[in-house]
Amino acid sequence: MFDYLIVGAGFAGSVIAERLANEAGKTVLIIDTRNHIGGNAYDHYDDHGILVHKYGPHIFHTNSRQVFEYLSRFTEWRPYEHRVLASVDGQLLPIPINLNTVNELYGLNLTSFEVEDFFAKVAEPKDYIRTSEDVVVSKVGRELYEKFFRNYTRKQWGMDPSELDNSVIARVPTRTNRDDRYFTDTYQAMPLHGYTRMFEKMLSHPNIKVMLNTDYREIEGFIPYGEMIYTGPVDTYFNYCYGKLPYRSLEFKHETLNVPVHQKAPVVNYPNEHLYTRCTEFKYLTGQEHQKTSIVYEYPQAEGDPYYPVPRPENAEIYKKYKALADATPGVSFVGRLATYKYYNMDQVVAQALTTYKQITTKPVIELVE
Ligand code: FAD
Ligand code: UDP
């Protein structure tokens, strides 16, 4: 008899497993359909001995000291600030759009003040920023929107930015200075020995048993447990009773090249060319030295493993119904990117998992009054 069955060994499931075992002294069975722990953050050494991220580039960044300190119990860090170039009009230009992007694109020599005026002239102000198109067009105008965002988004999501919530493209800011970092969070670092090593440390406790290659539905009824933590897709849990929630998928094409360096930046985005959205060269992320280099291309797909919830109003409506059902399901907590249908980064999932852990372990005890 386990106190908890945890479905999914990604960030959501592993953080809660670790807390339940280490702090609350509970017994945990954590189970995953995949043949590894770590969920989408899983990394491994490929056939050439290069550390790669199986499910695309995972860069850790957070403003939460609590999350950073929590994870620091299981890993040392390699300081790393992420940078991305976008292939636009035959040039490789820094994204997020910043002063250098505009100057290089148009062959100008503007200052920060001047680029503010430039944006003000081309921007199309909106009273209400509803969609992802509104976010960009209202800040930098239609031309930059079309060069950097429109086609990338159509490829990535299979729909126009005007059909997606503002939150999607709002992930990528616009700057008037020369800061070309992809993120500006206080803590930006990569786990020194990789994500999987960090997950191994989190799950290494006598109270935690890990079962891989298994869907939880295969063991239900055979292995007794008290409560469940579910981190898979919420619509699957409820047998799609309100219909399918769309999740966007990707196909990852990994390659190893017989050269030490392949491209000019850790990630190169291709808004307007190719079927893939971006190409990542892992050695930039990990700092590994090797005479070869491994890269991955991401090809967006409608079908396949669920990777991204699709933030738009009609999906929020469907999710609301599943959420009501989830809240009314005793003994099961729904946590993580798929189970709460939120476009969360890793740190947000860790924060959500720590909060859920607190909630489940501080449940009010109902006392019977005579
Ligand atoms: P997951 O990692 O998806 O884990 C859920 C697990 O549940 C899976 O392993 C799945 O196999 C298992 N499961 C599902 N159903 C069942 C079942 N029925 N039985 C058993 N097991 C089941 N975040 C960042 O902060 N920085 C980044 O740079 C970044 N890059 C990303 C790039 C890509 C391409 C993607 C897709 C995501 C990226 N993320 C990034 C987001 C990050 O991957 C997630 O926030 C995080 O991994 C979510 O953790 P999770 O535990 O909620 O879900
Ligand atoms: N985006 C874009 N062009 C870019 C980079 C991002 O249009 O060069 C848009 C696109 O819609 C993307 C979203 O901004 O899905 C969020 O980008 P981010 O890099 O955060 O995506 P993720 O790493 O989560 O795939």
Domain ranges of the chain: 2-78+190-245+308-361, 84-169
Residue 237 CA from chain centroid, whole number: 21
The predicted pLDDT at position 276 comes to 98
CA–chain centroid gap for 181, Å, is: 18
Query: Ligand 1 pocket: which of 30, 199, 231 to mutate (most atoms <8 Å of CB)?
Result: 231
Q: Which residues of the chain have pLDDT under 70?
A: 364-370
For position 365, what pLDDT does the model report? Answer: 59
pLDDT reported for residue 368: 62
pLDDT digits (tens, 9 = 90+) for 213-222: 999 999 999 9
- Shortest-distance Cα residue to atom 34 of ligand 1: 56
Interval between CA 219 and ligand 1 midpoint (Å):
22
d(CA 133, CA 273): 20
Rounded distance between C-alpha atoms, residue 7 and residue 14, angstroms: 10
Q: Using CA positions, which residue lies closest to atom 9 of ligand 2?
A: 169
pLDDT attached to residue 369: 62
Quick one: which atom of ligand 1 is closest to the CA of 11? 51
ipTM of this predicted complex? 0.99
* pLDDT confidence of residue 25: 98
CA of 324 to the centre of ligand 1 (A): 23
> What is the per-residue pLDDT for 243?
97
**Alpha helices (runs of H) in 145-252, residue ranges in sequence order:** 151-157, 166-169, 195-203, 216-219, 234-237
- What number does CATH give the domain 2-78+190-245+308-361? 3.40.50.720
67 lines ligand 1 (CB under 6 A): no
Q: What are phi and psi of 190, to 5 degrees?
A: -115, 145
